[in-house]
A and B are shown apart, each in its own frame.
Chain A
């Protein structure tokens, strides 16, 4: 029986087992996003002091579930789908050990459900970080451990598929760049999950009474190797998807594949060390450890992101210019398909990730100016730029691409899909910018009550801080509306979207059942040939518009960085 089908629209080959696993992982991810999005509304409307919706205990419960569903379950479920897509579809290979892949998926679902149940029962409102000595119910930790084991199995299925593809000679030459990026994400994921096991297994044993003490500082160091690195998986994954999307939409080729690969290699070496910025004010570790891990190693990872930030739009510009969009600096960008949510989603994600997430990330990683904003609401503002927009919007853009290709359904309400990246980006950008401002004024993160009602030591934030959190709240609500639009389009597409393949029913969409047998009519796809080297013309800048954008980023960075140092001197006067 043939194992593969070819998508008549995109030309992608789908292995039957891999296709089912991609679908179920993507669906599970979207369900997690739905939960996270609903809970986000509770968080926003409580932090907005004039609304102050939830009582304290419910707020912390909601915030815990929102964080874990958004930062762990949504992104990792979706990333496992991306790994199977990259290794199987892009390499035209059968999937290694599909039985293990299903077992991994089952563990992830059981773990996610168990963890959510623990939080909903009300005795595990310990935030995503679950710092000791706060103690959650044992099944809170057990759920996370099971989820992590399932994800680890997914990572090894990905590596096994790379080996299979090489043995079966399904591709020529080196791994394609997008798959290399997915490999980078997998490597970071394995370190992340191993760190999670090192700290969460003893914490679970502590919660059931077998261990009587977990050192709080030790916990923080090892936990952040899980907590922050898990977000670095996202970075590697969404950058890979940027290369994929520019390749599909514009036929763009990386400006220099060697340089892009080297940038991914820098991620492998250095990206995970940035976890240290969470420990920058902890007294237990030396300045040498802090400065090496943040101010030296982290900058090499930042360099990698800047390379990707230059080469992805640069490749798109070169491709557009070759089609004749050569007028001025930005005709290539003006004539881009702004009405296509795959493009607009990807491009907004790139800009917001780079300009806001990137610049604020460097500020947070600088030991001295980190002091201004450490543990303030600036931190969630930063990671909403990187994860909630950079990663999530990229995954949303990819979903719009995959609904017809993978699920074989036309987009439901395409006008809404067209608007969605604009609404989501606008809302989130407003929220992020104003919360960055509030954080700079010292508004603490995670705190239920800006008024400190009933506190023994009172404190008054300036009125501007209240205003900024309120405007941020309006932006956040708009962001939730944008998220809801995504869910309406995606779930609606699987329910009501026009069938591009007659056998693409509800169970095929939501449960991952294969399409009709007759669709799988390819025994073995043809070998993926190595692309011809890109010809470079050395008669000036190949991508001048991108160069100008990069200079704009540099100016923004220098100005913002200088302002922060100046601000530090005023909040911490010497002499």
Chain B
């Protein structure tokens, strides 16, 4: 038996943990969520208010 087969298998990292370990993915989510649901949605509603005549 070769020596390599005796080495412990590297621990499988769950998908959710890999997501939490990626700061730039979290940064994207953390900026995209409020930008879409708060800022863009809010600004679009204000921008579509009819102008008073």
Contact = CB atoms under 8 A, between A and B. Distances in A.
A65 interface: no
Contacts of B24: 159
A285 B45 contact: yes
Given A159-B27, A162-B23, A175-B21, A273 B34 contact: yes
B23 A183 contact: yes
B30 A187 contact: yes
Contacts of B45: 284-286, 289
Contacts of A190: 27, 30-31
Interface string A186-205: 11101100110010000000
B29 A272 contact: no
A285 B47 CA distance: 10
A217 interface: yes
A276 B46 contact: no
Contact of A225 (B34, B46, B49): B34
Q: Would you call the interface of chain A mostly helix, strand, loop, or mixed?
A: helix
Given A162-B23, A215-B46, A187 B39 contact: no
Given A190-B31, A191-B34, A194-B31, A183 B42 contact: no
B17 to A, nearest CB: 6
A60 interface: no
Contacts of B29: 268-269
A269 to B, nearest CB: 5
A268 B30 contact: yes
Nearest to B14: A258
A319 to B, nearest CB: 25
A297 B38 CA distance: 10
A215 B41 CA distance: 16
Contact of A221 (B26, B33, B42): B42
The size class of the interface chain A forms with chain B is: 35 or more
B7 interface: no
Interface in A313-358: none
A229 interface: yes
Interface residues of B, number: 23
Contacts of A198: 39
B15 interface: no
A218 B46 contact: yes
Given A187-B27, A222-B43, A265-B20, A270 B38 contact: no
A427 to B, nearest CB: 35
B11 to A, nearest CB: 9
A293 B39 CA distance: 11
B26 A187 contact: yes
Contacts of A269: 29-30, 33
A191 B31 contact: yes
A151 B6 CA distance: 50
A194 B38 CA distance: 14
Given A268-B26, A272-B34, A289 B42 contact: yes
Contacts of B39: 195, 198, 221-222, 225
Given A187-B31, A284-B49, A285-B45, A292 B26 contact: no
Contact of A285 (B27, B30, B42): B42
A333 B27 CA distance: 37
A261 interface: yes
A180 interface: yes
Contacts of A272: 30, 33-34, 38
27 contacts: A159-B23, A180-B20, A183-B23, A184-B30, A187-B31, A190-B30, A190-B31, A191-B34, A194-B31, A198-B39, A215-B46, A217-B46, A218-B43, A218-B46, A225-B39, A265-B20, A268-B26, A268-B33, A270-B33, A272-B30, A272-B34, A272-B38, A275-B34, A284-B46, A285-B45, A285-B46, A289-B41
Interface of A: 159, 162, 174-175, 180, 183-184, 186-188, 190-191, 194-195, 198, 215, 217-218, 221-222, 225, 229, 261, 265, 268-270, 272-273, 275-276, 279, 284-286, 289, 292-293, 297
Given A221-B46, A284-B45, 8 more contacts: A187-B26, A218-B46, A218-B47, A221-B38, A270-B33, A272-B30, A285-B45, A285-B46
